[in-house]
Amino acid sequence: MKKEIKHYLAQWQAIYDGKPWYGPSLLTVLQGLDAEAAYWKPRPGAHSIIELLHHVLCWRRHLVQRLSGNLGFSVELNSPEDWTAHEAVSEKQWEEMVKELEGNQQEIARLLNGKQDAFLEEDSGKGGITFRERLEGTIQHDLYHLGQMAMLKALRRKTGL
């Protein structure tokens, strides 16, 4: 049976490019941004949209590795891999990040489509965390940072940039 898997797939799709009830999707927030806008920070020391997207992608890559069976894969929290301080980036680099998000979204959907609901209760490779908990945690993580990106985009617009 795949009733719960279908539920998670629907959530992933809504976050990515759907019309979730809580606000804009990732693609909606990223739409219309160029590299300069994605790098903009409201103050020194704050994260930019590009840094937040890099961080989201890091943990989505982590999920793909675990869903693919690489249960030993890990990312060190707060490491340069997790949080990369981006200086100004080119349009090409920005477009590549957005394209990576698209590919990652497709890979998550492909991997989940190959699973049955019982898979959700399996250990995902660290500390007894099930795949259900890992999926829910990654969804919550995406939503948290999506909200930050949406606020940064709105704040930049309010400053007239």
Mean pLDDT of 110-130: 93
Amino acid letter, 44: P
According to CATH, the topology of domain 3-158 is: Four Helix Bundle (Hemerythrin (Met), subunit A) (1.20.120)
Q: What is the pTM of this model?
A: 0.93
Q: What is the reported pLDDT for 134?
A: 95
Q: What is the reported pLDDT for 147?
A: 96
User: Domain residues of the chain, as ranges?
Assistant: 3-158
- Structure tokens given for 98: 């957005």
Mean pLDDT of 133-145: 96
CB 81 within 8 A of CB 125: no
User: pLDDT digit string (tens) for 69-106?
Assistant: 999 888 888 877 878 877 777 899 999 999 999 999 99
Decide if pLDDT at 144 tops 80.
Answer: yes
